[in-house]
Structure 1
Amino acid sequence: MTRPITPRAHAIPARALLTLLLALALVPGNALAWGRLGHRLVAALAWDELTPQTRRAIDALLAGESDPTLPGIASWADELREHDPDLGKRSSKWHYVNIAEDDCVYVQARHCPNGGDCVVEAIRTQTAILADRDQPRTARLQALKFVVHFVGDVHQPLHAGYASDKGGNDVQVNLNGKGSNLHSLWDSGMLNAAGLDEAVWLQRLRALPLAVPMAREALPPASAEWAEASCQIAIRPGLYPAKAVIGPDYLQTWRPVAEVQLRRGGAQLAATLNAALGG
């Protein structure tokens, strides 16, 4: 499959490039899928579809948390770098899997060989811990936080994209005069550019058709299938913009795709949690 043209293939004037690089220095690092808003939206959408038994189990696990809700813990795994650097470092590879160079076909031995250091296997491993009633409560609570976050991550297309550009992190873009990168644009830039608050976003996303058959309530979760579907979006023509400056046409084309992925992520997370906690 022909690799989409990236902005790196275009000559950018030296002064403009310097300005862009200086702006990029202010952009947070990678491994942030959907940003705080997107992760909260996935978690809130999932809560809508949980069974009463699953909700009771989650409430029991979250008792004592500063914000004892699914949206309240949705960004916890991204915040580990500040609050628990050791765990943040150990789990840094659990947020993504690079399969675009292999036609979006996931093969564990090739893409996740080192004890499950990728989002596909992390979802499976953490869901198994969450579902195991013999595990300590602290372990199951941590697993819940990871599952809520990683199911969101795997539905962000560039978290299943190309290794060669670090899932779009190396592709420079500019939106509304601010330097960023393609990965960050998909994480939060496109959502934030809409100027909607969380309540309005939820109303908008809840109105979308599910767009996929309801996820099976079975374990292990179908995380490899989710990654492959996300990857197929990442390699679509046009997702890598032809120019570094992002205009309204790009947002009009791709923001609806991101919205569908958020909706799917919520549905798949709900099914995963129902399977792990509702039985």
Structure 2
Amino acid sequence: MCNWSNFQLHKPTYISICSKLTYNLIEALIFLAHFIGDVHHHQPLHFGFTGDLGGNTITVHWCHMKTNLHHVWDNIIIDSALKTFYGSDLANMIQAIQNNMTEGWSNQLSLWECCQKNQRVCLNLKIELISKELRMDSSGGLLRWSSFAFVMFVGMATVLVPGALGWSKEGHIMTCRIAQNLLGPEAAHAVEHLLPHNLKGDLSALCIWPDQIRHWHKYRWTSSLHFIDTPDKDCTFDYSRDCVKDLCVAGAIQNFTSQLLHYREGTTDRRYNLTEALLFLSHFMGDIHQPMHVGFTSDEGGNTIELHWFRHKSNLHHVWDREIILTALKDFYENDMDLLQETIEGNFTDGIWYDDVSSWKDCDDLLSCPNKYAVESINLACKWGYKGVKEGATLADDYFNSRMPIVMKRIAQGGVRLAMFLNEIFGDSEEGIASAA
């Protein structure tokens, strides 16, 4: 009969009486290995509150999937990290963790192993440390890691909430892919150099990162950088009026462009995090081309204008963020985003927008051009976004058919202009538009 309560002490028993099968040592080994995982940082909610069973009774949504808080920490964060950063390759993820142990976390290994003789005291200490690492975030009560514990999951451990999130993930991904297809050799090399090596230079893999981290305490200051609030129904953009202290999407593009211009000074320049600057610039170039990101102050760019998109509830901002894109994907492209992207690229490489591309790229000063893009967006928001829309309205075919070309054109413009910025910053300013795809 197995003595479950004493499995922790099997090691000395095995050494002294290995010929006597007093315990089931195979089971003991398996249980010990499993519970060491439970007691460590992998699962802080194994030391959660009694009333909610460690988060098991707290129902939440992870993106669009219904789950509970305990399961988020058990599996979903890891699964999301595997899929997003490691191509679902567990061996690759384990290798990254091991690399951090030998490099980034090497100075902390001795602390991890500081308790080898008194095993029970060690377990109690780990429980106490885990409890201390859990904090309640004052903005919404979401549990979060300490700064050390969430290094592995940058951009992943986030619950998406309604708000001004820019283009949907599809819009941002297409913007970045379009841009990447237009990069010259030097810019392409710089982008690959700045991105994590496992992404193999794929900028689109992290284009939504700024949306994912904007509510983290460390990055909360970036929340106001995703949009521009303009006076209601004025339909104008004025930088000094609408971008106070440079805290708007136009100011953000200027700031991160300025930082990236230091790239040529070499890797010894540590004044800026150029990887983050690249991700922010790429994301914000998409945001500034979403017309409702330069909307009216009182309705938060259409976020508070509730309505129906065909048969389901939505709001005006989200219609432009994602509903139009998803409806187009479903109705015309069999939900194939690659096919939609090819169509958009075809329209500006040799199609209906071909003659407009030179004007899209017209930019004498990278730091002032974002103002022009903001003016375009507020004009489109007034003429096409807000026009004819009232609270509680149902938007359907007429609205979709007339606005879809505008959405697709803005995605194209964002991609072309992002490529133009990156080529100029990294040394390929003469690269032509014909290199697309």
Q: TM-score, normalised by structure 1?
A: 0.83
Correspondence for 1:75 among 208, 211, 227: 208
Shift of the 39–238 alpha-carbon distance from structure 1 to 2, 3 Å rule, reads: closer
Correspondence for 1:275 among 401, 424, 427: 424
How far apart are 1:101 and its partner, in Å? 3.5
How far apart are 1:105 and its partner, in Å? 3.5
Q: Is the 8 A contact 2:237 2:378 kept in 1?
A: no
Which whole-Å CA distance do the structure 2 matches of 1:247 and 1:149 have between them?
29
1:125 and 2:258 aligned = no
Q: Deviations over 1:118-144 (max 9, x none)?
A: 001100001111111344397110000
Which whole-Å CA distance do the structure 1 matches of 2:304 and 2:285 have between them?
24
Which whole-Å CA distance do the structure 2 matches of 1:160 and 1:238 have between them?
11
Residue 412 of structure 2: aligned partner = 263
Shift of the 255–158 alpha-carbon distance from structure 1 to 2, 3 Å rule, reads: same
Correspondence for 1:249 among 398, 403, 412: 398
Residue 149 of structure 1: aligned partner = 283
Which whole-Å CA distance do the structure 2 matches of 1:59 and 1:130 have between them?
14
Which whole-Å CA distance do the structure 1 matches of 2:313 and 2:229 have between them?
24
RMSD (Å) for aligned C-alpha atoms: 2.3
Correspondence for 1:86 among 214, 217, 224: 217
Correspondence for 2:183 among 27, 41, 50: 50
Q: Is the 8 A contact 1:31 1:92 kept in 2?
A: no
Letter in 1 for 2:404: R
1:40 and 2:187 aligned = no
Letter in 1 for 2:251: E
Give secondary structure in 1 for the equivalent of 2:307: strand
Which whole-Å CA distance do the structure 2 matches of 1:191 and 1:207 have between them?
17
Which whole-Å CA distance do the structure 1 matches of 2:206 and 2:368 have between them?
20
When Rg is computed on C-alpha atoms for both structures, the one with the higher figure is: 2
Q: Is the 8 A contact 2:292 2:302 kept in 1?
A: yes
Correspondence for 1:31 among 164, 175, 189: 164
Residue 11 of structure 2: aligned partner = none
4+ residue runs over 6 A deviation: none
1:219 and 2:350 aligned = no
Correspondence for 2:342 among 192, 203, 225: 203
Correspondence for 2:305 among 171, 180, 187: 171
Higher mean Cα deviation, 210-219 or 34-43? 210-219
Higher mean Cα deviation, 91-100 or 128-137? 128-137
Contiguous gaps of at least 5 residues in structure 1: 1-25
How far apart are 1:250 and its partner, in Å? 0.8
Which whole-Å CA distance do the structure 2 matches of 1:238 and 1:144 have between them?
29
Which whole-Å CA distance do the structure 2 matches of 1:130 and 1:151 have between them?
14
Contiguous gaps of at least 5 residues in structure 2: 1-158, 348-352, 429-437
Letter in 2 for 1:97: I
Residue 98 of structure 1: aligned partner = 229
Q: Is the 8 A contact 1:100 1:162 kept in 2?
A: yes
How far apart are 1:100 and its partner, in Å? 5.3
1:112 and 2:243 aligned = yes
